[in-house]
Structures are given as structure tokens and as C-alpha cells.
Structure 1
Amino acid sequence: MVDESKKSLPKRSEIDKKYQWNLETIYTTDEKWEEDFKRVKEIAEQLKGFEGKLKSSAKNLLEGLKLQDQLSETLGKVFVYARLRKDEDNTNAKYQALADRASSLSIQVSSITSYIVPEILSIPTEKLESFIKEEKGLALYRHYLDEIVRTKPHILSPELEQLLAQTGEIAQAPDHIFGMLNNADIKFPTIRDEQGEEVELTKGRYIQFMESTDRRVRKDAFEAMYQTYGSLKNTFAAILNSDVKKNIFYAKARHYASALEASLDDDNVTPEVYNNLIETIKKNINLMHRYVSLRKKMLDLDELHMYDLYTPIVKDVKIKVPYEEAIETVKKGLKPLGQEYLDQLAKGFESRWIDVYENQGKTSGAYSWGSYGTHPYILLNYQDNVNDLFTLAHELGHSMHSFYSNSNQPYIYSHYKIFVAEVASTLNETLLMHYLLENITDKKEKLYYLNHYLEQFRATVYRQTMFAEFEKMIHEKVEASEALTPDLLNEMYHQLNVEYYGPEMVVDELIDLEWARIPHFYMNFYVYKYATGFSAATSLAKQILEEGAPAVERYLTFLKSGGSDYPVELLKKAGVDMNTPKPIQQALDVFKDLLDQMEQLLAE
């Protein structure tokens, strides 16, 4: 556990093993990793031998697809292990090298396998159907083959596909450079904490400072954070500009009308879904302005600044949640999901799925990741607060989704699409919040958690939609041949903050630089899925709480389905239709109800 008496971060070696994830379940030694690294190359060579032969017979097609699965599964383990080791401590040269090698190997494999999809597309539809009838094993690959046929207009010749695959390593450069600059090289100054002691500002501690009841601490942390990013704004703008150009290059190469359309097509989602989200949020922007006004009133401020957004608006309530307590609270909150779910959750805690505390060089933030054939892993930077209690529940949702998918689907369908990735995580948070609000009797604590829930809506629905609109704007600017200079990025980001937060908010100039520190902007139109996922989760959680077992069964079936169908279809079977704005509006109706509850409690 982290010793809070120390004002600098501990080294990795100083963290108790029980708070570190157990990567030995992937490879017991680095030498075992080297063996699989070599094996990937050997399998890739075998698969190379099928080039030009997949279309010749049903048997060859099946053998080639099986070999591709074997290759991808082994490469997944190699890649995940190397990256997780690197994320433990980005300054560790050994694991930097392993991660680089794994990344290069992944590019090589992409190049070698790039012939597969174009060759399958060269098989006439009637012949492909006859292959599936002739070779029973191909029935497993029906959805996979249907998906390839669907994307036919965007698949290039084998030669061009191979060329595109070879650009992969170059294409990863903006994200890689951003990651190293943002996680390893950037250094923040010290600030004075509530006791007046000099403490190093880190990204992990930033939210702690922003939640401080001492406004001077919040302002100092805010200014220290963004002045540091401001000193590197030209570099960050150049990196982001390069990443956007990369997305546009691939969209054009594959004959899409825009980078947005290209990104969404992977989930078989239309741009209308993306635009509907932004439009529905804009129609309900008054609710966000109402919340900002309530925050200003409760903090009793003449002016509400951006650094006042995270401090609890319920005074004299400070809730500390040690990690062990968080585990027990999460278990209680997720009880509506049934004993099967809870039993597996307990095994996850016992098997050290989770890397808990921040250490020197550790990647910031939180995520859940893993590979087929191993259990999932969770990276946290736990800080004993309510935010991190919910982060734990959130990442466990991802991990349990992965666990169920991997346990119930063959490799080819084990990977669920990103469009549904945030549903399981947000549903866990929703159930946890419901449990807390139902069981808290203290008025101030209840107000505190209502505020926290409102903050989840602000951060996950409104803020992520603002990010999504920013992503859309910067891609449209570059598609119109404009350069993303720091000044232009700042200007666009400032205007969005003004629009989303409304007239009661002082939009500080330094917040204009926030775009520079958001890693999700390097994930190609990912963030909108937080908002759509939150909306779907809100609806599903309501069904689970109201219907009980039948809704739980539908939900667990959804978790077990992996990528065996299109994400919109999987959600329909679970009970939510994302083709309409209805789930988004339902979520915003809950936001309105929470505002009503909070205002009513305050009036009592």
C-alpha cells in the first residue's frame, strides 16, 4: 500500500505484491514470452503458405482461418504481456524494448495476414456459400464471413492491403509519442497542499487536489497542470494534428466519405447515431446549465471557475474509501446481478487481477485489458476516494464482460466491439450508486452521492459528448485542409466549454489547453461510446432492478455473446435499441430526476 506520509511516489519495488497484478498467469518468465514470440513468427510463416490457396477449396479456407485464430491468440498474449509490463513502469528500459518488439511483431503479422480478407472477397458469393455447406467447420465463421462481405467496398487489392498494413508502425507514432511524452517525460511542479506542505503534482493526485475543499489548492493544482501542458502546446498540437491526418489518410484510402464514417463502420454504426447523440445533448443542454447554477449556489461563490467543478458541493462531508472497503461495497452493489456473477468477481480479487496503487513511471488512469486464454487485468491508480470506488466498479464491469465473452465464445467472436464496451462498466457504476442511495440515511451523505451521480452524468454524458463534438470538429477542419495550430485548438475548445457549461461558468483561459492531455483523442472517435454506453447501461440497470431474474438473464447473455453479432443487435436482444435517441433521452431524464431530488432535499 502507498504510504501517504511520503510526498513522492514509491518505486514499483516498494508496492506490496498483493496490490500488484499477477502477470505470471500469462507467462511465468520472460523466457516463456520469448518462446511464444518465436512461435508467432513460425505460425505466421505457415499462414503465409496459404496465400492464393484459401479460394481453392473449403478445406483450405477452414484450415487458413483456424491458423489465423491460433496466430492472433498467441500474438495477443505476447502483445498484452509486454504492454502490461511496460505500463507497470514506463521508465523500465527492458519492458520498453519488449513492448516495442511486440508492436513491431504485430505490424509484421498484419502485413503477412493482409491477403486473407481480399482473397476471401475474391471468392464469388455462390462459391463461398457452397464452401460453407461443404465444410461443416466453416459454419462457425458465418458471421465473420458475412462481415467481410459487408465491408467489400472498402477492401483494397491484396497488394494495397499489404502496403497499408506495412504503414501500421508509422501510423502508431502519434499515439506512441503522446504516450511517452504524457506518461514518462512530462514533469509537474510541486504545490502546497492543505497543510501548506510542498507535494509533487502528479496526474494521479490531480483529481484529489481538484476535490479539495481549499480553493487555493484547487486553483494551484489547476494552474500547475495546465501551465505545464501549455509549455508544450506546440508539440502536443503537432502530435494531435498528425494523428488526425493519419485517420483521414486511412479513411480516404478505404473510400469512406469521412474519417468519422470510417471509424463508425467498424461497429456497423452510421454517422446518424453519432450526430443524434450530439443533437439530443444540445436539446437538453439547459439541464447542464441548471446543474452548473446549482453547483455555484451550493458552493456560495460569486464566480464559478473550471477548477470548482470537482470539489464536492456538499460541505463537511469527506468520505474516505480504503481499497479493501471498496471491494466489499462493490460486491454489495452488484448483488442484483446474481450469485454466478458475484462468485466470479470474488475469484478475480483472489487471483490478483488488479494493479492497485500508483508508483513511479506507472501509466496514469485506469483500464481493463487482457487476452484470450488468460483472465482480464485491471490497472488502477487508487487514491482511497469515492471516484476511485466507482472506477473500481467500472473497470470490473469491463473485466467481467471480457471474462464472460472469452469463456463462452470461440476466439473469433471473443472480442466485443467498442460500441458496447462501456455498457457493462457503466451498468456496474449505476447499480453501485443505486445501492448507496438506497442504504444511506444521512442527509448530507445522500446529497454527496447525488452530487457524485450528477457528476457521472456531467463527465460521462455531457463532457464525453463535448469531446466527441471536438473530435468531429478537428477532423472536419483537417478534411477542409486547415492546420490544427495550438491557437485554433484552444479557440475551438474554449467555445465548446462556453456552450456546454453555460452563462454561470467562468471558462478560464487555461482550460483551453485541456485537449493536450486527453489520451482518448488518439483513439479515433472512441469517446462518444462512453455517452451511448452510459445511456444503454442506464436503461438496462433499470430493467434489472425492476424485473429481476429475466432481465439479469438477458444481460448475462449479452455479456457472454462477445462479438457474435453486430453490437446494435446484441443490445436489442438485451433490451435497448440504440438506433433511436430514446436511450439517450431516458438517461437525461434520470439526470433531471437527480437534479429534482437534490433540490428537494436542499429545500427540506
Structure 2
Amino acid sequence: MKELVWNLKDIFRDEHEFEESFEVVKQKVTHLKQYQESNWSATILWKLLEEYWDMKEKCNCILIYGSFGYYKDVQNPSMIEQKRRVEEFSSQIDCETDWIPKQIVEIGQDVITDWMLQLPKLEKYHLYFDNLFRMKNHLVKDPKTEHENQNRINQKITEYTNLIHHMEFPNIQVEGKEITLNTSNMNKYLNSRNRDVRKNAFLSINSSYHEKCQQYVEIMNEIYKKRIENAHLGNNTTVLESVLMKEKIDATVIENLIQTIQKSLPLLQKYMSLKMQYLEIEDPHLYDVGVPLDNKNQHKYSLEDAIFMIRQALKPVGQEYLQIVDRLLDGHIDATLDPKKHQSITFSWNSYSFLNYKESYVDVKNLIHELGHIVNYELSHQNQPYLYEDSTIFVGEIASISNEIFLNRYLYQNAKTKGEKIFYLSKEIENYVTSVFRQTMYTEFEMELYKMATTDSLTTTKVITLYSQLQQKYYGKDISYDEEAKYEWMRFGHLFRWAYYPYKYATGLMMAGILVNGILTGTISIKQYIHFLSSGSSKYSLDLLKDLNMDILDISVMEKGLQILKDDVEEFEKLVK
């Protein structure tokens, strides 16, 4: 088959059209300004919004096209400059048109509601209006201070990134050779099949973080303090409230998640016990929990084989879905290896995906995961206006993670040996360990840190004590906890770079599990699922989930999200005993 490389002609036919588009967008922005001094009416508002979102779509095309060149050729100075240029242009256009939502808010919700009754086609913007007026109650009281705080947060995040990048670790011995550990190769040795290697890597890496702990805590303390202040400036009582408010997520979701996972910790600990027995480890330590059960399976999956497996795995979601997959495999995925490409990133943007396909199991999983994102986008693009065609992260992860579950189901059912069955089954279970249990642990950690930072300063003792308590609560009493284990949290960048991101991984996998079970048992129809994928962000996230019969404010629904894991652990126990 031909290589998987991008064909971006659906965005711009050539570089000439790309360059011309800058002027086209500028002219559209200039034309929009005529409305600024107009006497607005329902008709004028409709015309303004049609032109505004048309301009936004064209500006987004510039941003996408201009950025993609960089990922294809990361060392090329012209591509680096082009990416900077389109990002600045996009930011500039946002600034020049930010008067539009502000002026709509000034008109008032009652007037806008009357106009929608007068002019029914304005109803298209109902959710957009609802969001504007909902957010009005959280307008920042002191924009200057908020901006200064955000700049300081960005500075501290850069400081964190530089600190991580320049970490130095003691060398370790691997098969008689001295290996220098760094941030690029550490995961390889932390997950080594050789216990001495992973132990030495774990102790070496975390001892170095121990030495720098005070610096990391000081960075975290300032970031968290500034976020708390900004939350209060936006009329929010907590940082969590300010984060959830943006997607209209009820805090009950977080409460239900934590409560469900805490009740299910015996299931996690049972799996860990079975895994250690299978590995014949009598005194398990925390550095043992991540070792893969691959039985030295170094199987390679050619791209042709991967695409065949993906098509077979996705048969349960129907022919319409598979036809879109086939179409997107032609020019919408850039997976071919090239030394010029960005080597460590995998992403989807618009209906395009980027990865480096190296024929491993992880690469097959990444490919089907990213296909989930771009099929979701493509269906939304076909069925929604531009302003609603992007799904929220909270909902979008369901579309991608469910594909991973379908893949593992297919591979497990078609495994030829017991070793292969254990490999594929353990991969699915480990996904729950890392994406549900571990991410929920981070969410608990983050919540407690913000509570501490609200009333006092974070200190090294407070932070490592809290983290150690959570480790022991989650992994249980049968694991030995080395002193160095208390310091691993510093490596997890989302605790610094974003506020309350981890819970979305957990809810995404749990809801994907309900979805897959629903499709396979017929309680969720393919038609329902395609409708869900076609909805973009045309409803709030929790309302979209209700279209799949999921009300996750009901804790019993959240609990169903672990049914696949329960079945998998039961099956795993049969295989290894």
C-alpha cells in the first residue's frame, strides 16, 4: 500500500492560496468593523455572526496549515518561523474581533432571546449565546492582575520545563555497560524486564528528583497560588470550579469518580497481586508495578497488517464508520517515518492525525486512537456549523479510547497462544491502571494541594507526605514503598502545566467502556453512536453523554464504567493460575 502522508490540498490548494488567505481574512475583519457602530437588530446580528464565524474558520485553516509544516520538518528555520507567524496572526485576529462577544453581552440576554424568537435562524447560535451569558457571571474583576498572574504562571511553567530538561541522573549498569539516564530514555529502563535494571533506574531517577524537590515545590506553590487568585478574580470559589465551569461540568462528576475508584481499589490491588505472582516476585516494590507482561513478545505489525486489524476491530460500529476510516486513510494521516519529522509527538487536529509508525503494538493502538478523533471530527464537520464542529476534550476522548477497547477485544479474541492472550489482556488492564486509577490518584493529589495552597504555602514535607499517603492507599499494603518513591510526582508535568486535566482521562476510559459494552450488547445502537460523533459541541458535554444513555451524575452509571476491567481481571486470573 502507499505511504500514509498528509495531503493538505483540502485546506489550501498550494502555497500561493495559503499566502493569499492572510489578506482575505484581514479584509473580512475590516468588513466586520462596519457592524460595530450599527444599530443592531436580529437580522444584523445574524449577518454579523455568519461573517464572523466564516472568518474564524478561514483563520483556523491558516493556523492548521501553517503549523503542520513545522511538525513535518522541525529543524527547518522557515517552518519554525511560519508556525510562529500563523500563531501570532491567529492571536491578533482574536484580539481585533473580541469586541463582538462583548457587544453581544452588553445587549443583554432578554433582548437576544427576543431576537431569536423574531428570527428563527438565529437559533443556530443558541448555545453560543448561552455560553456567553453564562460566562458573564465569571468575568474577571481585575483583568490587569489576572493577566499578570497568567504571565507569571507561564514563566514558572517554563522554569519547570527547563528544570525537567536539565535534570541529571546517576549512571546505571545494564548488561555490563554503563548507561547515562536522561528524560528521553528513562521510561525504557523504568519498565525494563530486568528487575535490577528497573530498580536501579527508579532509585537513581527519584533520588535526583529528591535533591531538586525544594525547587519543584517552590515552582508549584507559586503556580497554584496564582491560579487560586485568578479563580477568585473570576468569581469562582475554587480553581476546580473555574475549570469545570468552562465546560459546564458538574462537580458531582469528580465526586462520583473519586468515590467509585476508592470503592474499586481492591480490584486494582487484586490485579497487582496476580501480576506479581505471575512474575514470581515475592517482595514487590513500586518499581515493579509497571513492568509489561509481554513474555518477550517483540511482534512487529506492518502498516498493512495494522490497517487490516483496525478495520476488523471496528466492524461493530458499522459500515458508515468504516467508510470514513477508509477515506481518512487517504491523505489525512501522516505516519510515515522521516528523520525530519517531530519524533515524540502524536496528535490529531481538525481531520488530520500525526504519528510515527514504527510497527509496535503501541503504534497500532495510537493509530486506531487517532482515527477515533478524526472520524469524530469528520462526522461533526459534516453535520454541524463550524462553531460546533470541535468536540470538547471531555467528550472527544470517548471517541478515541473506545477504538482502543475494540482493538484489544479483536486482538485478544484472535490471539493464537496463551502468552498472546495474557499480553493483550494485560495491555487493556494496564490502560485502566494508568488512565483511570493513576489519573484519579493525581486528581485527588491536586485537589488536596489546592486546599493546602488556599490557606498556607506548600512545603516539601506536606507535598511528599500527601503523595506517599495516596500511593499507599491506591496500591495497598502488599507493595513495599522505597523512600525515593515519594518524589516521582515531580515528573508528571500535568500537575504543573494544567489545572485538573487528569480526571478527563479517567472518565474518558470509563465512559468508553460503557459505550463498547452498550454497542456489543445492543443497548446502544450504532445510529445513536454515529449521532453522538456527529454532534461536535452542539450540546454541553453531560447532555451529549445522555444521548448515549449515560448520566454520569448518577454514580451507578460511573460504576458501570469499570465493568470491562472487572471482566478482564477475572479472565486474567483464569489465565495465570
Q: TM-score scaled to structure 1, two decimals?
A: 0.84
Correspondent of 2:363 among 369, 376, 388: 388
| Aligned 8 A contact 2:8 2:331 in 1 | no
1:520 has 2:494 as partner: yes
1:279 has 2:254 as partner: no
| Aligned 8 A contact 1:376 1:399 in 2 | yes
1:476 has 2:460 as partner: no
Q: 1:194-240 CA distances to partner (integer Å, 9 max, x unpaired)?
A: 6x667776766554444432223434554565566667656655554
Aligned to 1:599: 573
Q: What pairs with 1:327-346 in structure 2 (closer than 5 Å)?
A: 327-346=307-326
Aligned to 1:69: 53
Give the letter aligned to residue 387 of structure 1. Answer: V
**Which of 380-389 and 123-132 deviates more?**
380-389
Distance 1:164 1:591 in 2: 43
Residue 154 of structure 1 aligns to a residue in which SS? coil
| Aligned 8 A contact 1:292 1:504 in 2 | no
Aligned to 1:451: 426
Report how many residues are paired: 575
Q: 1:107-154 CA distances to partner (integer Å, 9 max, x unpaired)?
A: 434433333333222324442223223334312112221232333322
Correspondent of 2:230 among 225, 229, 250: 250
Correspondent of 2:118 among 129, 134, 139: 134
Correspondent of 2:247 among 257, 267, 278: 267
Give the letter aligned to residue 425 of structure 1. Answer: S
Aligned to 1:150: 134
Correspondent of 2:347 among 357, 367, 371: 367
**Which of 554-563 and 397-406 deviates more?**
397-406
Correspondent of 1:397 among 372, 392, 396: 372
Q: 1:289-340 CA distances to partner (integer Å, 9 max, x unpaired)?
A: 1122122211111332333223234645444434443332222111111122
Correspondent of 1:547 among 515, 522, 528: 522
**Which of 136-145 and 458-467 deviates more?**
136-145
Q: Kindly state the Cα deviation for residue 90 of structure 1 after the two structures are TM-superposed.
A: 5.5
Q: What pairs with 1:52-201 in structure 2 (closer than 5 Å)?
A: 53=38, 56-88=40-72, 92-155=76-139, 172-174=154-156
Q: 1:329 to 1:238 in 2, by over 3 A?
A: farther
Q: Kindly state the Cα deviation for residue 256 of structure 1 after the two structures are TM-superposed.
A: 0.9
Correspondent of 1:376 among 352, 359, 364: 352
Q: 1:394 to 1:175 in 2, by over 3 A?
A: farther
Aligned to 1:503: 477
Q: Kindly state the Cα deviation for residue 445 of structure 1 after the two structures are TM-superposed.
A: 1.6
Distance 2:504 2:374 in 1: 17
Distance 1:444 1:224 in 2: 32
Aligned to 1:582: 556
Q: Kindly state the Cα deviation for residue 38 of structure 1 after the two structures are TM-superposed.
A: 4.9
Q: Kindly state the Cα deviation for residue 357 of structure 1 after the two structures are TM-superposed.
A: 4.8
Q: 1:270 to 1:510 in 2, by over 3 A?
A: same
Q: TM-score scaled to structure 2, two decimals?
A: 0.87
Distance 2:502 2:460 in 1: 21
Q: CA RMSD in A?
A: 3.5
Q: 1:476-497 CA distances to partner (integer Å, 9 max, x unpaired)?
A: 23222424x5554444333322
Aligned to 2:396: 421
Distance 1:182 1:400 in 2: 35
| Aligned 8 A contact 2:388 2:538 in 1 | yes
Q: 1:171 to 1:18 in 2, by over 3 A?
A: farther
**Which of 314-323 and 252-261 deviates more?**
314-323
| Aligned 8 A contact 2:285 2:482 in 1 | yes
Give the letter aligned to residue 557 of structure 2. Answer: P
1:561 has 2:541 as partner: no
Give the letter aligned to residue 495 of structure 1. Answer: Q
Distance 2:49 2:148 in 1: 21
Distance 1:30 1:482 in 2: 53
Residue 263 of structure 1 aligns to a residue in which SS? helix
Distance 1:197 1:33 in 2: 52
Distance 1:83 1:176 in 2: 21
| Aligned 8 A contact 2:260 2:559 in 1 | yes
Distance 1:73 1:593 in 2: 45
| Aligned 8 A contact 2:513 2:562 in 1 | no
**Which of 221-230 and 550-559 deviates more?**
221-230
Distance 1:35 1:180 in 2: 38
| Aligned 8 A contact 2:369 2:404 in 1 | yes
Distance 1:576 1:60 in 2: 39
**Which of 452-461 and 218-227 deviates more?**
218-227
Aligned to 1:536: 511
Distance 1:38 1:201 in 2: 49
Aligned to 2:407: 432
Distance 1:162 1:555 in 2: 45
Q: 1:266 to 1:127 in 2, by over 3 A?
A: same
Give the letter aligned to residue 319 of structure 2. Answer: Q
Aligned to 1:463: 438
Distance 1:46 1:445 in 2: 62
| Aligned 8 A contact 1:356 1:382 in 2 | yes
Q: 1:187 to 1:103 in 2, by over 3 A?
A: farther
| Aligned 8 A contact 2:446 2:500 in 1 | yes
Aligned to 2:467: 493
**Which of 104-113 and 385-394 deviates more?**
104-113
Aligned to 1:9: none
Q: 1:206 to 1:546 in 2, by over 3 A?
A: farther
Give the letter aligned to residue 353 of structure 2. Answer: Y
Q: Kindly state the Cα deviation for residue 64 of structure 1 after the two structures are TM-superposed.
A: 2.6
Give the letter aligned to residue 100 of structure 2. Answer: I
Distance 1:25 1:231 in 2: 52
Aligned to 1:12: none
Q: 1:33-72 CA distances to partner (integer Å, 9 max, x unpaired)?
A: 554445444444444554464x722233223322331332
Q: 1:176-209 CA distances to partner (integer Å, 9 max, x unpaired)?
A: 66567767x7788987666x66777676655444
| Aligned 8 A contact 2:283 2:479 in 1 | yes
**Which of 410-419 and 168-177 deviates more?**
168-177
| Aligned 8 A contact 2:4 2:329 in 1 | no
Residue 368 of structure 1 aligns to a residue in which SS? strand
Q: 1:332 to 1:458 in 2, by over 3 A?
A: same
Residue 574 of structure 1 aligns to a residue in which SS? coil
Aligned to 1:294: 274
Identity between Structure 1 and Structure 2 (%): 30
Q: 1:345 to 1:27 in 2, by over 3 A?
A: same
Q: Kindly state the Cα deviation for residue 88 of structure 1 after the two structures are TM-superposed.
A: 4.8
Q: 1:78 to 1:170 in 2, by over 3 A?
A: farther
